[in-house]
Structure 1
Amino acid sequence: MHEIFEAFKIKEAKVEPIEIGIINQSFRLITPKESFFLQKINHHVFKDINGLMQNIELVTKHLANKFDKHCLKVPKIIPTIDKKLFFKDTLGDYWRVFELIEETYSFNHIVNEHIAFEAGKMLGKFIEGLSDFDSKKLITTIPNFTNLQMRLNTFDDIVQKDNFNRLVSIQKELDFIQKYTQEMIQFDDLLKSEAIPKRVTHNDTKINNFLFDKKDNAVALIDFDTLMQGSVLFDFGDAMRSGLNTSKEDESNLENITINMNIFKAYSQGFLSQVELTKEERDNLINAILFVSFMLKKV
């Protein structure tokens, strides 16, 4: 860590691993005066580290002045001694440091309607706060991340090969996918059309990317690695896909899975109270939940 500390002008710090996420490695750096959030960026997933960090810098600076007025927080990048947004060490690994947003915590699932309402408000404020930002300035950090047709092609290829002779045992699931594929393609075409505005989108709006204060008020949305140009419908759909399920996300017993409609109502109310959407966007919020659930579980 000595090489990293020198790069970010950190003289001494206690290093504590943070067990969050599966892509980057995260650490809390505790110094006598303040604490920081250190990450080793997975450059196998994110090929353009400079572009990724430029995305975060552009968006956080744009949001900072707006959010400060409402006591909301944005991740603040700590530059290196060379005034760069990240540091590449002698082993070829990429590191970055943020100010730690103190006295906050997150949830692994939406525990009640108040948390749902607050998270919805926070997402709405994020989208609305960037409504005057030119999303064309952002690079694509993960190509084809929301490309339904690519996922369909990959799935069809796997089905055709059937390398493990499992098709017979999943015929019910295959029938379900085939039944709704055309409908989902039509929705995908809508997202790509001029009818749906192109906005700055977060693209990973699960509840553990929201930070709350001691009064359970949402104060920050974090993890900006997937900031890209896209549709607000994907962000809302992904939040609801992961948030409405009363069971764990990888639950295999369908009898244990139910949808909490009170959570949906509270999240939607919070979200819509903060963001101005077009009629086409509002009319397709429900369809977006179905679309994202279909696409992300396709392969």
Structure 2
Amino acid sequence: MSIQTFGHEAFFMQLNSDIKSFGGRQRQYTHPSQTLSCEMTFSIYLPLQAEFGPVPVLYWLSGLTCTDQNFVTKAGAQVYAAEHGIAIVCPDTSPRGDSVPDDSDGGWDFGLGAGFYLNATQPPWSTNYQMYDYVIEELPTLIEQNFPIDSQRQAISGHSMGGHGALTIALKNTARFRSVSAFSPIVAPTQCPWGEKAFTHYLGGDRNDWLQYDACSLVAIATDQLPVLVDQGTGDDFLETQLKTELLVETAQAAKYPMQIRMQEGYDHSYFFIASFIGEHIAFHAEHLTD
């Protein structure tokens, strides 16, 4: 067990697993989160290069119903992270625990596993659902204090709800990240059923409060620009109703925000899609993370 000072209290981090992969280590840890008021789990891949000095880091945000393990076990990213000498950090997708409120209707698109990477303002969600602060503040501090990470070389990526999270977090923190990418992102959650349900509960009924977590809205007002890569499968069942990639294309063109937005013929919403192109995404980030 590693003990680290966080704020003014002793901070504990428990190692759950440590597996060798492509010369590096794939690890999973659990820690008590002050931000989310519950115990949280995250995974980190440390390439062999981390044994000799600080390495750049890619934060990966997963989608609805996922945990920290979906990307770790299905994406096949370790071989590319090892090649480029990049650490990958995968947080969970929401707060967890018996005391954390969930969707009372038992839906999978809200509540546990569906934190939407925002800071909830409405009770009872506001006590635990502070995923934006967790991803942007608490978790990076924990990572930088305990692992050989170069905090000046950070990138972020994600899938679906996590693609939404990666885009919005990067667009709001352009000085922190060097690049951002996404697979099948929810680009306009204020205009789709998934986003409308989650935002109504987490943020309340004023739609103006929702815009700070909407990628299209943020692109439209952006003054600083990051390198952006988005891949979307044309065979994705959620494309028309939930993801609406065309809105990001239109907004980026109108705002003169250069982005690589690639429509990949026949690919669906699954991790088979992610595994097919994750090597290109890590190479994209490596280009911008290299000094």
Q: Same fold (TM over 0.5)?
A: no
Higher gyration radius (CA): 1
User: Higher helix share goes to which structure?
Assistant: 1
Superposition TM-score, scaled by structure 2 size: 0.30
The structure richer in strand per residue is: 2
